[in-house]
Amino acid sequence: MTLAPQTLEHVRALEAAFHQRRPFEVKRSAVPLGAWDTDVLQVGAGPALLHGILLAQQGWRVTVADRRKVGQAHREWNISGPELEPLVQHGVLTREQVASLVVAQYRHGIIHWHGGKRRVVNRVLDHALDAGRVMELLVARGKESGIAFLEGHRWSGLTVHPNGVVVAFETDHGPLTVTARLVLDATGSSSPFADFDLACPTVGGVMEGLEEGTGDHQVDSTVGEILVSTEGVEEGRQHIWEGFPASSTAYTVYLFYYEQPHRVPADCLQALYRRFFETLPRYKRGDARLLRPTYGIIPGHTRLKPGGVSPADRVLRVGDSAARQSPLTFCGFGSLVRSCGPSTAAVGRLLESNTLDQHALNGTWQEPPQLRMMGVLALMMMERGAFVADPQGVNRLLEVAFATLENAGPDAFERFVRDQATPAEVMSFLLRLGRTYPAVFKDVARNVSFKDIAAWTVQAGRALAGA
């Protein structure tokens, strides 16, 4: 199996955009703007378009610019069923439209670390969506709400004035500027303002021809495989598989690893695709064909250092550029759907009162406290130099962690994987883990630095105190 030339070209462009991202120098001017082209300028028309739509629905003039054609999706999204509800509640899509997005639904999910037990978890990421149709409906809804779309616009700088922002773009027809009261940075992992401290290169896609059945190396269209490893640390990384039914005949497979952003290789996606094709038989058997490749570098955040969502007055990061993914599954689409309602309601109030300074904008995102405690868990799924001589170390650590979660009962297990455990439950899980498997502290200490543990203790204290 190989990638088509245009896919390879896009893969290379994504790698380059990730590695060449440079923070913009935010220019400042004391001269007020006379007028604005738009109230809100959103740069980036991925699924974070939800933000622009909700603001347009509030009555603000919204413009959305993208360097490519708007509404392009090169991914597939899985989401837990109830997480789709906000799309209907906020009037973005009708219930019928939401139902039409679901291309497959599975009975239960499994988590299986190499050498460990195959564990069942229910109602987690159990709905597979047609990402192309999601984007098609969002763009249509955006147009109905009055959004003006600008395609082929690559932003190249911005100047913040006392009452607005001038954003510079490069286009095929030369440079141009757009003025706005507020700018939403929705440019994903290539954002010039992204300050994520984790990265998750992910490759795979929708496949046909995999052997069907209920064995570990077969695909079962009623089961989703949420986290699976087929070996220990190799090439310095703990690789993880995911597999979801995509329709009655197709199956989506991903291979990914968690990494510190500065250690992500320049050709990370191409190298991971080579490994994907080589090692797929360790995961699933069959005469596989890649129908639709899906790939990207998902940014994440350990929450060990306080991160704001506003890099400057009148500029707000949303979606992947704010790195607000699920700490365990790194699902950013689900996180966007969950958070866009409260976040845009708060932004609307600030636009109303014209209070768009950095401090006020940072207050528009109130992260659920348990996420502040769980962000660090991704570090446990990542090789950080401690397990080279002990390749099974990450699997062993994850096996005992998930055994402890399973022992808490199916409901608690499910809520934990869906990021819904309370801070007290997260704490109780960690204490039980330490009591049942005291050796876990040695493993954690090998992979997580003292500084990380100290930062986490502060975060946990705040989350438990409800601060």
Ligand X SMILES: Cc1cc2nc3c(=O)[nH]c(=O)nc-3n(C[C@H](O)[C@H](O)[C@H](O)COP(=O)(O)OP(=O)(O)OC[C@H]3O[C@@H](n4cnc5c(N)ncnc54)[C@H](O)[C@@H]3O)c2cc1C
Question: Does 79 participate in binding ligand X (rule CB under 6 A)?
Answer: yes
CA dihedral sign of residues 76, 82, 88, 92: negative
Scored b (16 or more CB within 10 A) or e, 320-342 reads bbbbbbbbbbbbbbbbbbbbbbe
Closest CB to ligand X among residues 46, 86: 46
Query: In the complex, what is the shortest distance from the CB of residue 167 to ligand X, in angstroms, rounded to a whole number?
Result: 10
Distance, in Å, from the CA atom of 155 to the CA atom of 40, rounded to the nearest integer, reads 15
CA dihedral 328, 15, 265, 125 (to 10 degrees): 20
Q: Is 202 in the site for ligand X (CB under 6 A)?
A: yes
Judged by CB under 6 A, does residue 309 bind ligand X? no
Of residues 139 through 198, those in contact with ligand X by CB under 6 A are 153-155, 186-188, 190
Is residue 10 involved in binding ligand X (CB under 6 A)? Answer: no
Q: Is 365 in the site for ligand X (CB under 6 A)?
A: no
413 near ligand X, judged by CB under 6 A:
no
The H-or-E segment that residue 343 falls in is: helix 332-353
Yes or no: say if 73 and 215 are a contact pair by the CB < 8 Å rule.
no
Contact between 419 and ligand X (CB under 6 A)?
A: no
- Taking the complex as a whole, the smallest distance from the CB of residue 153 to ligand X amounts, in Å, to 6
Binding region for ligand X (CB under 6 A) out of 74-82, 357-365, 371-379, 442-450: 74-82
44 touches ligand X (CB under 6 A): yes
- Helix, coil or strand: residue 76: coil
Considering the complex, state which of residue 194 and residue 379 has its C-beta at the smaller distance from ligand X.
194
In the complex, minimum distance from the CB of residue 281 to ligand X, in angstroms, rounded to a whole number: 21
Task: Give the list of residues 6+ apart from residue 448 with CB closer than 8 angstroms, or none.
Answer: 376, 379, 380, 384
**162 Cβ contact list (under 8 Å, min separation 6):** 30, 31, 32
Contact status: 364 vs ligand X (CB under 6 A): no
For residue 339, state whether it binds ligand X (rule: CB under 6 A). Answer: no
Provide the residue type at 246 as one letter.
A
Segment interacting with ligand X, rule: CB under 6 A, options 65-73, 134-142, 215-223, 447-455: 65-73
The CB-of-139 to ligand X minimum distance in angstroms stands at 11
In whole angstroms, the minimum distance from the beta carbon of 443 to ligand X comes to 28
Do the beta carbons of residue 414 and residue 405 sit within 8 Å? Answer: no
- Give the 3-state DSSP-derived string for 368-390, with helices as H, strands as E and coil as C: CHHHHHHCCHHHHCCCCCCCCCC
> Which residues form the interface with ligand X (CB under 6 A)?
43-48, 65-68, 75, 77-79, 153-155, 186-188, 190, 202, 254, 294-296, 298, 319-320, 331-334
